[in-house]
Amino acid sequence: MVLTYAQAAALALQHEMEADPRVLVLGEDVGRGGIFGQYKGLQQQFGPARVIDTPISEAAIMGAGVGMALAGLRPVVEMRVVDFALCGMDEIVNQAAKNRFMFGGQGRVPLVARMPGGIWDASAAQHSQSLEAWFAHLPGVVVVCPSTPQDNYSLLRAALACGDPVVYIEHKGLWNVQGDVDPTLAVPLGQAALRRRGDDLTLVSWSRQAGICEQAADALAAQGIAVDCIDLRSIWPWDREAVLASCARTRRLLVVHEAVQAAGFGAEIAATAAEATGCRVARLGAPRIPVGYAPVLEAQSRVTAAQIVARATALLQNTTH
């Protein structure tokens, strides 16, 4: 079936809520379907006791979700956007992430915290951040960044089955993107997808930027340059085996992400690949500036296919002997 990114997520939740009465949703505006339509129709089907509208307090929402999870439920905690999740960071960092470790496994926190991330058109600096590296740095949580409707369906179901806290970052710019969705297809956490195949360069990304990398890979192919285009899908755990195997073959790695390049998760991938394979590495991310409101300023924070092509070409030229 063909669904949008938002519809795929709503269908995944519908299926999980039908299969498991412990699964519920809480957050602002979830009863009317969420601000992106990712909960559309769920309160009408399952009622306000399982699709719970909350006050405007991210700390209270996340704290309630942690408590529900510890009590045996499987809550989906809606933060509206990742930028607002900063108001609930203590509950995420010091409660959800650490409980299983600090209490010797006696308690677990099987919640999914949905935090739409990335640049949101004309939404400025407080609504357009890409903060996945923050959570990847946090022991005790899984971090997922789906890029397609199929992955948003399959990975959301995998996240709910995980048994540990999952920071689930859907891109704000993908909600209306359409694609084929097979409800029977399972996608495990931590397994990358190979979107293009080639021997000249390894190109790694995730979330919306993975699609931009596919565009760049097609442009490079027109120049006779064939790349492995890898969509990580989960950045913790990330698929080291797939990335390192590709790097060992191509000997060149370019990691691309929408997040600010400085201290981005791309640095972890590049360093790991360089240490393990000795390949030549490069990174491409956003400049260390807040995302502007005006289109001309917002554009300065976007990583384009043309920039990826230029960076990949430069990397190939610098490693040609």
Q: Is the peptide bond before 295 cis (omega within 30 degrees of 0)?
A: no
**Helix, strand, or coil here: 137?**
coil
| CB 142 within 8 Å of CB 164 | yes
Q: Which region holds residue 278: left if phi is over 0, alpha if psi is between -120 and 50, else beta?
A: left
The pLDDT mean for the chain works out to 96
193-318 fold = Rossmann fold (3.40.50)
Q: Give CA–CA dist 210/60, Å, rounded.
A: 34
Domain boundaries, the chain: 2-180, 193-318
Q: Tens digits of per-residue pLDDT, 177-187?
A: 999 999 999 99
Q: Tens digits of per-residue pLDDT, 245-282?
A: 999 999 999 999 999 999 999 999 999 999 999 999 99
Q: Give CA–CA dist 117/119, Å, rounded.
A: 7
Kindly indicate the confidence band of residue 318, based on its pLDDT and cuts at 50, 70 and 90.
Answer: confident
Give the active site residues.
127
State pTM to two decimals: 0.96
DSSP state of 97: T
Q: What percent of the chain has pLDDT over 70?
A: 99
Does the pLDDT at position 131 exceed 90? yes
Same fold, 2-180 and 193-318: yes
Architecture in CATH of 2-180: 3-Layer(aba) Sandwich (3.40)
Q: How far is CA 212 from the centre of its chain?
A: 15
Q: Give CA–CA dist 250/112, Å, rounded.
A: 36
Q: Tens digits of per-residue pLDDT, 40-60?
A: 999 999 999 999 999 999 999
Query: What is the reported pLDDT for 319?
Result: 61
Query: What is the reported pLDDT for 321?
Result: 40
Does the pLDDT at position 286 exceed 70? yes
DSSP state of 290: P
Helix 149-161 to helix 5-19 angle (10° resolution) is 30
Query: What is the reported pLDDT for 69?
Result: 98
